[in-house]
Amino acid sequence: MAGGRARVAVSILDADHSNMAHAIRRAEREGADRFHIDVMDGHFVPNLTFGPKMIKGIRPRTELPLDAHLMISDPLTFVDEFLDAGCDSVTFHVEVEPAQIEPALRKIRAAGRAPGLAVKPKTPLSALEPYRGLFDIVLVMTVEPGFGGQAFMKEVAAEKILAARAYIDHKPVEGEVQVDGGVNRESAEFVGGLGVDILVVGSVLWIKGRNMGREIRLVRALADEGYQYRLNDGRPPIPRDAMVTFTQLPRHLAWALMAEIEKGGIPVIPLRGSGQFNPDGVRDYDLLVPASAEALAVERHDADRARYAAAATAWREAYIAEFGVKPPETLRPMPGSARPKPSGA
């Protein structure tokens, strides 16, 4: 996975539709972070593309995530098919018939995938308001949906990208603002400076003779540069996958604090690392949080961290009083393992 913050979703809309398997393989080799698949029904937009069957065919050909962007009038009718096809996220348009929106979003979430809502250039972000908390992705369209290769609408990006984050604040780490339409080396720095997470890049990658890998790396680097200098006081962005230790605790307390932190949308990884040994012979667990959410975790849970540390001390003392101290687990010889040779032998 790339360092840095911005990620490129390669749109296959302008790839050779007669040879999608090749297109997927090539883009993956050239460093795509994921795929963006534009589904059009000839009704919501004046164009037709592909459907769930093609996505199902692509699914086993790549391990990269597949984002479906449904430009269709009836997402609720078809959403199950897209979930079944193996999409990692399904984003459809907030301009569809309102009665479909909430049930379709709920289906996506229930399937364990990321639900998203897309907004056309003329649709205000406030259209998302009734569905707050039901979607994890906001896809800001910076062209009229329907075709690749159109010109980037800078004013739309300026108005919406930064503001869109407010709609996914229940997912401080995994929530995504995506920009779609006219994104290339000319617009990447600008949208990066507005904090966009995912840049959908289509037509420029499929131009004959173009070095796709170089283009992808350039777009990512420019977006990170924009972020660093416009939004992050000149500091380089924290890589998306970097984790830091938030605290170390005995297992039962680690699990309890993890649940509290995760309730607020910050994912936690428990690891047995270098923590101290407890009287029951088991090491403290490290609780890791994404580096990008460290400040938020401290802001929310600094007092909890102190409270749990005190609980750990009390638990250790009580354990010793009742059971004494067991030898650390790792020092016990594994069954069947060779005995260490005495030194000098």
Catalytic positions, please? Answer: 38, 180
7 binds, among Zn ion, ligand DX5, none (CB under 5 to 8 A by kind): none
- Amino acid occupying residue 320: I
Q: Note whether 13 binds ligand DX5 by CB under 6 A.
A: yes
Residues in the chain: 345
List the beta strands (DSSP E) in 28-128: 34-40, 66-71, 89-93, 114-119
| Dihedral over alpha carbons 105, 106, 108, 111 (to 10 degrees) | 170
CA 78 to chain centroid: 24
SS3 291: helix
Q: Scanning the structure block, which residue is given the tokens 């004959």?
A: 208
Q: Is 178 in the site for ligand DX5 (CB under 6 A)?
A: no
> Does residue 265 touch ligand DX5 according to CB under 6 A?
no
We find the least distance from the C-beta atom of residue 183 to ligand DX5, in angstroms, to be: 6
CB of 67 to ligand DX5, least distance (A): 10
Residue in 32, 79, 94, 143 binding ligand DX5, rule: CB under 6 A = 143
Is residue 149 close enough to count as binding ligand DX5 by CB under 6 A?
yes
Sequence letter at residue 266? I
Contacts (Cβ under 8 Å, ≥6 apart) of 151: 143, 182
Residue ranges with strand state E in 29-173: 34-40, 66-71, 89-93, 114-119, 137-141
Q: Which of 33, 95, 180, 215 binds ligand DX5 (CB under 6 A)?
A: 180
Q: How near is the Cβ of 225 to Zn ion at its closest, in Å?
A: 24
Partner from ligand DX5, Zn ion, none contacting 203, C-beta within 5 to 8 A by type: ligand DX5
Binds ligand DX5 (CB under 6 A): choice among 49, 89, 178, 203: 203
Q: Which stretch binds ligand DX5 (CB under 6 A): 198-206, 235-243, 257-265, 274-282?
A: 198-206
Indicate the residue among 70 and 266 with the shorter CB distance to ligand DX5. 70
* Contact call for residue 183 and ligand DX5 (CB under 6 A): yes
Rg (CA), the chain: 24
36 binds ligand DX5 (CB under 6 A): yes
Beta bridge partners of 70: 39, 92
What span, in angstroms and rounded, lies between the C-alpha atoms of 79 and 97? 14
Closest CB to ligand DX5 among 214 and 332? 214
Asked if 148 interacts with ligand DX5 (CB under 6 A), we say yes
- Is the distance from CB of 231 to CB of 194 less than 8 angstroms? yes
Q: Which one of 146, 264, 270, 328 is in contact with ligand DX5 (CB under 6 A)?
A: 146
Using CB under 6 A as the binding rule, whether residue 200 contacts ligand DX5 is answered as yes
Look at residue 160 and give its three-state secondary structure.
helix
Which CB, 179 or 243, lies closer to ligand DX5?
Answer: 179
Pick the closer one to ligand DX5 by CB: 172 or 202: 202
38 sits near ligand DX5 (criterion: CB under 6 A)? yes
Q: Rounded distance, CA 306 to CA 217, Å?
A: 43
What is the rounded distance in angstroms from the CA atom of residue 118 to the CA atom of residue 72? 11
Q: Give the residue with the Cβ less far from ligand DX5, 153 or 261.
A: 153
Residues 297/246, Cβ–Cβ less than 8 Å: yes
Contacting positions for ligand DX5 (CB under 6 A) = 11, 13, 36, 38, 69, 143, 145-146, 148-150, 180-183, 200-203
